[in-house]
Every structure is written in C-alpha cells, then in structure tokens.
Amino acid sequence: MPPRPPNRNFNGQGRRRNIEYIPSPSSGAYSILVGMLKAKQFDMIEHLSRQQVLDHSKKYNESGPKDDAKIWSSITALINRGLVNRSMIRDPLYYLTPQGEDLAKKLLAVSMSEPDQIGLNEESQDMYTQDNGSQLHAGARDLDDNENTNSIGSNIIINNDSTFELRAGTFDIVLVIDQREKIDIHSLDLELRKEMRSLSCGDYIWVARPRGLAPTDRTKDLVLDYVIERKRLDDLQQSIFDGRLEEQKLRLLNLGVRRPTYLIEEYGQLKANRLTSTDLYKCVITNLVKDKIEFEKVRNAQEASDYLVSMTKCLQNFFLNKDLKSCCQERLKGGQAAPNEFLTYAEFQSKGPKWKNFTVREMFAKHLIQITGMSGARAAVISQRYPTMSALIDAYSRCSTEKEKENLLANLQVPNSTRIGPTLSRRVYAAYSIPTHCNNELNDNEPATC
C-alpha cells in the first residue's frame, strides 16, 4: 500500500502548524474587512450599522461580490473568528477587533504590492501557510511605515491634553456633502473645495482641513459650528407626523454644535387636509426657535446651492486669520468651549448616528419633549437630574405640599439659558402626577376608576 502523503498542516512532531486565516479578494469576508478598515481610516466611522458595512464593502472592493446577501453571509464567520465584534447598545453596530484591523491592513498591503499573492479560490480561502503569513506581516510593516511618514507639520500643535491647534492660514475650509444628497453644487470660484462623504448626522458640514496631510488623513479635521439639515417642504411635513423631525433635532442638539440649521426648500405639494404652508412654517419656526436651531428658506435646489456656496465663502473669509483648537463634545454641550474650539471630525462621526433602540433615559426625554414649551435642552437637563419617569415620580412623592411638587423643577439651570421656570415645572407635574383619590385607591388594592 503506498504511503500516505504528509499532512501539510502538521510538523514532524505531529503538532498543528500555525495557520492564518486569509480570505480571498473575491469573498464577502475580504470586502467586509477592507471596507470597515477604510471606513475607519477615511470616513472616521468605527462603529457601523449593517447597511454601512455593506455600503463600504462594495465601495472599497470593486472586485468583490455586489450582492448584499452574499457579502453579509460572511459576517458570522468573522465574528466567530474574533475579527469583527458587535455592539448591542442601540441598533447592532459592528466594528473591527484589533486582530481584524491587523488582518485588514495586511490584506491591503499585499493587494497594493503584489496583487496575485492572495488570489485564492473559494475552496482554499480559509487558510494560508505560515510562509505566506510572514509575507503579509512584512507588507503590513511597510504599510505602517508609510502611514507613519505622514508627519504632522509645524502648522499643527499637539497639546498635553491630547487636543491640537491649527494655526491661522494653514488650513482650508471644505464643504462636506453627505453622499446620499442629490443636489448639484456649482460655483465659478475654483477655490471652492467640496467632498462627498458618509455623514453620521446632517446633510452638509464644513470642516477645517490642515494643509500638507495625506488626502485621506482626516484625523485633524475640525467640524465648524454650522451643520445643515436640508428638507423639502413635503418631506418636512411628513417628518413632523412620523417623528423624524424630533429625532433629527435631538441628534443635532446632542452633538453640541452651536449653529445647527434647517435649510427648507419649497418643493413638493403638501398633503390635503393636514397643514397649509403658512401653518407648517409656524409649526417649524416655533419648534426650532425654542431650541435655538436656525432656519433658512429657499425656493428651489438652485437657491439651496447658492446658499451653500455663499456660506462656504463667508466661512473662508471669517476664519482666514483665526487659530482653531479641538475640544470634546462635553465642553461644547456644557457651554464651556471658547468660540475658536470645535469638535473633531472623528468625534462628530461617532456621536451622530441615528438612535433606534433608546435607553430608558432617552425614552423619558422623548416623552418630556412632547410637553408644550419643552425644548431639547430643557428635556436633557430634567432627564439628567431624573433619569427615569419613576425617579421623577418618586421625587414628587417626597414633596410635602402640592406647591412644592409644582415647583420641583423650576430652579433647574439650563446651559446658556435661564431656569426651567415655574410655568413649565407645573406642566411637567401635571403630566406625570397621579390624582390623590386614584393614589388612595391603588394603595387600598382596589381597581382604579380614573
């Protein structure tokens, strides 16, 4: 009987050799790893939703599969191998583990230097030999060396507290457009810089971009105060009724940017038997002004384009001779940031995604916002002091008189504003108080008649 061929996966002592998992460039696993790494490096998005993973996978791997189901079928294997992890705090969000990021860098390094090295078929894509693994490590070191050569010039000052400063005249103002926007922005001025990116919040933002860095290096971009949410008139009406307007407004306020703006375009017909244009504008203005959100109205897409071009030129002139500094979201929300301090693009992207699975505190804030006269800032202050509805009701139960209950929230201070005030405090109490006779019936274990 002929001898059995030696098992290539084992050495002479019968031990299994160290085999490294290397997915094929034509596989969904390869597309996911490379797409998630590029999303982190280029778009500053570390935690991605399912759709974002699919979009970036197809965007950054042209040779990979284009069918969503085929790409997504690899996600479970990547999670089981410890290359991708999943957060379930809100919607499922996926992110690369350190091992997954390291492998993605190696795959990119080899594909850029020797594309044919990893052209495996589907049957052999699960593993590669240790020798090829060492080639990948060498390629990854080369990639890391190239990244490290992007040294920060003298126009950027790194402070001891990890913040950084951009010197006046050493950065450009760039209009960043969400890639889902369909508007064309034209300008005869060749100095107008614009980019398409996947924004986690808003449709248009402006960033200060240091000169001299690699085109894909966004680690030192600062998001200026102006974040624009564009709404057509018909979509604005629908967003009021389905709650999207309130959700978008809360996310804008949560970021802490000082000049959030709604750009409303008079396009589309309002649905009958609901609101007239005048009623709609009154509703929107009342809703936005109380939260200090600005409001601009344009007649069509061309006027919207002109507005964005004009804003870009104004910001270029305004920041021409100013030094800028990075700061954290907490300083902006607390009103402690100086006028020249701004959020980094990385933090903007991480703090702005949509909320779908709300925490108890966030759900309580959404309840509060429905009370007449309640703004997002006021709801945030109340929910910070009393994180749940039961916490607020317990606080009412500890009050000795009705007057004390009515004024429980009156002296809570709102950042950059006044107190909650007695009128709104009474409204909140009226919304969450239980009439005395109902409370007595419940204490006696009898059915409530209220």
Query: At a CB cut-off of 8 Å and minimum separation 6, what does 373 contact?
Result: 290, 423, 424, 427
Phi, psi of 75 (to 5 degrees): -65, -40
Mean pLDDT, range 417-433, rounded to an integer: 88
pLDDT higher than threshold 80 for residue 382: yes
CB-CB contact of 71 with 54 (8 Å): yes
Q: Residue 216 pLDDT > 70, yes or no?
A: yes
pTM of the predicted protein model? 0.56
CA distance 241 to 90: 23
The helix (H) or strand (E) run that includes residue 314 is helix 301-318
Q: Which two tokens stand for residue 209?
A: 């971009």
Backbone angles phi, psi at 171, to 5 degrees: -140, 160
Mean pLDDT throughout 225-234?
88
Residue 121 scores a pLDDT above 80 = no
Nearest-angstrom CA–CA distance, 73 and 337: 45
Residue pair 45/14 in contact (Cβ under 8 Å)? The answer is no
Tokens found for residue 76: 């479970």
Which one has a higher pLDDT value, 292 or 429? 429
Full set of structural domains in the chain with CATH: 28-148 (1.10.10.10), 164-351 (3.40.50.10130), 360-443 (1.10.150.670)
The residue to which tokens 């759709």 are assigned: 51
Residue 116: DSSP 8-state: G
Q: What is the pLDDT of residue 429?
A: 92
Q: Decide which of 161 and 294 is more confident.
A: 294
pLDDT 10s digits, 50-94: 888 888 888 877 778 888 888 998 998 898 888 998 876 555 778
Q: Kindly indicate the confidence band of residue 33, based on its pLDDT and cuts at 50, 70 and 90.
A: very high
Is the pLDDT assigned to residue 365 strictly greater than 80?
A: yes
Q: What is the pLDDT of residues 313-350, one digit of tens each?
A: 999 999 999 999 999 888 888 888 999 999 999 888 88
Which range has the top average pLDDT, 71-80, 129-138, 250-259?
71-80
Listed range (170-174, 392-396, 443-447) with the worst mean pLDDT? 443-447
Please answer whether residues 255 and 227 qualify as being in contact, where contact means their C-beta atoms are separated by less than 8 angstroms. Answer: yes
